[in-house]
A = this chain, B = another copy of it.
Amino acid sequence: MTRRRSDTREQIRRVALELFAEQGYEKTSLREIAERLEVTKAALYYHFKTKEDIVASLFEDFHAEAEELLEWSRGQEPTPASRREFVRRYAEIIQGPGREMLRFMQQNEPAVRDLKGGADLRARMQLFAEFLVDKDSSLPDQIRARMSIFSLHLAHFAMRDTAVDEDEVQAAALQVALDLIPED
């Protein structure tokens, strides 16, 4: 019944993300996470110092990928083409577990904002926008660039009441996101 080294840690992260995204951070108790994994609450504390640290650990994954993307962007001239490439790469990042992560971030803003690493994520989003649109662009274009990102985050949620395949939605969302990037 014992698990491989750090298997439990990974399981905790997985279940926690699932529940945080589904029910929200505050509403998800450690008891609930523990019960799903059939361990005790105290076991969670062996692997993470606090509830907040579980989230922080999840943030880090995203943080790292976002950083890599930003690193790439710093070597690019901000042309329509490179901006679209940026969006495409970002879309790829937030496939899989990333998508749940972003859904969590976007739909639990007040909680996330106060969490360790939360401010940092917000700052990163701001940097995304700065690459995607010129500082002196029109206000609508500024907003468009940001809604481009949000399309990728929210498309699935926006279409949740329709019976459309998840992957198709994500592909269409990329389309929408690309079209929101200013042409020049």
Flag if A110 contacts B144 (CB, 8 Å). Answer: no
CB contacts (< 8 Å) of A173 on chain B: these are 143
Whether A168 pairs with B155 at a CB distance below 8 angstroms is: no
Which residue of B123, B150, B171 is within 8 Å of A147 (Cβ)?
Answer: B150
Q: Are B126 and A161 in contact (CB under 8 A)?
A: yes
How would residues 154 to 179 of chain A score, 1 for a CB under 8 Å from any chain B CB and 0 otherwise?
11011101101000110111011001
Is A24 an interface position by the 8 A CB rule?
A: yes
Residue from B22, B108, B147 within 8 A of A24 (CB atoms): B108
A111 in contact (CB, < 8 A): yes
Q: Complex Cα distance A179/B143, Å? A: 12
Output the least CB separation between A120 and chain B (Å): 13
In the bound complex, what is the Cα–Cα distance between A137 and B173 (angstroms)?
A: 14
A76 CB–B CB distance under 8 Å:
no
Question: In the assembly, what is the distance between CA of A111 and CA of B26, in Å?
Answer: 9
A14 proximal to B (CB < 8 A): no
